[in-house]
């Protein structure tokens, strides 16, 4: 039994456990969500003139807006819309970059239900135009992030649509993807992972 004096609800140890449950990546105790880690990385890329990659805003259907006197407009009724594209895109050394970031609590596979069909279709179109498309997968309990190129993702997606398994095994992701190590700056250097891939293919 643990007492919580002074209104404190958690000990430090509890907090860390809680954070892990909520998929925080622990970079030497610098707790941060997967999305925050990507945002920090993109910010690093921009400020260091490496690439210009942004997260798209969450698509929202706005129904009602109030314009109170002397203050800014307030959206009073709106609904979340299903995104028709991936969440991130931009440019890196002249190449168009387009990717989706997903996380799973699973320890042995990534469930494909995390991705929408129209996101696959979108990446397919972008890849055909010559863009670099991929998936970043965060296995939150393993504290591992992988970059899976779209060409491989689409193989597993097709396997599912043809009646095969509805997930990608971690072993498959380890084989086909690139592990992105946690670093201090940038947090998740996924573009370095892309370079690595290019070199190994040459």
Contact between 75 and its own copies (CB under 8 A)?
yes
All residues at 6 or more sequence positions from 176 whose CB lies less than 8 Å from its CB, including other chains: 148, 149, 152
DSSP result, 153-180: HHHHHHHHHTT--SEEEHHHHHHHSEEE
Query: Per-residue contact track with its own copies, 30 to 69, x per CB under 8 A?
Result: ----------------x--x-xx-x-xxxxx-x-------
Residue with tokens 């910010």: 43
Q: Which of 38, 13, 14 is nearest to 25 (CA)?
A: 38
Closest approach of its own copies to the CB of residue 141, in Å: 27
All residues at 6 or more sequence positions from 41 whose CB lies less than 8 Å from its CB, including other chains: 186, 187, 188, 189, 190
Q: Which is nearer to its own copies, 45 or 157 (CB)?
A: 45
Contact between 179 and its own copies (CB under 8 A)?
no
Q: Give the one residue of 41, 42, 85, 104 binding its own copies; rule: CB under 8 A.
A: 85
Rg of the chain over CA atoms, in angstroms?
20
Using CB under 8 A as the binding criterion, the count of chain residues that bind its own copies stands at: 39
77 is in an annotated binding site: no
Half-sphere exposure of residue 14, counting CA atoms within 13 Å on the CB side? 7
Q: Which is nearer to its own copies, 31 or 90 (CB)?
A: 90
Residue list for the binding site for Mg(2+): 85, 87, 100, 119
Site for its own copies, rule CB under 8 A: 46, 49, 51-52, 54, 56-60, 62, 72-81, 84-85, 89-96, 98, 122, 125-126, 128-131
């Amino acid at each position: 039994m643990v007492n919580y004096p002074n209104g404190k609800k958690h000990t430090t140890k509890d907090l860390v456990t809680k954070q892990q449950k909520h998929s925080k990546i622990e970079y030497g105790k610098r707790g941060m969500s997967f999305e925050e880690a990507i945002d920090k990385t993109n910010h690093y890329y921009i400020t260091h003139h490496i690439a210009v990659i942004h997260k798209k805003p969450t698509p929202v259907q706005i129904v009602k807006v109030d314009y109170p006197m002397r203050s800014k407009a307030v959206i009073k009724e709106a609904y979340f819309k299903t995104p028709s594209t991936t969440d991130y895109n931009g440019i890196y050394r002249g190449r168009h970059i387009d990717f989706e970031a997903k996380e799973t609590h699973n320890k042995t596979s990534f469930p494909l239900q995390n991705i929408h069909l129209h996101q696959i279709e979108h990446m397919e179109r972008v890849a055909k135009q010559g863009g670099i498309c991929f998936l970043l997968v965060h296995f939150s309990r393993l504290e591992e992030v992988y970059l899976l190129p779209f060409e491989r993702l689409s193989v597993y997606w097709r396997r599912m649509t043809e009646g095969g398994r509805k997930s990608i095994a971690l072993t498959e992701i380890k084989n086909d993807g690139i592990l992105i190590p946690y670093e201090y700056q940038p947090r998740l250097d996924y573009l370095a992972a892309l370079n690595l891939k290019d070199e190994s293919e040459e």
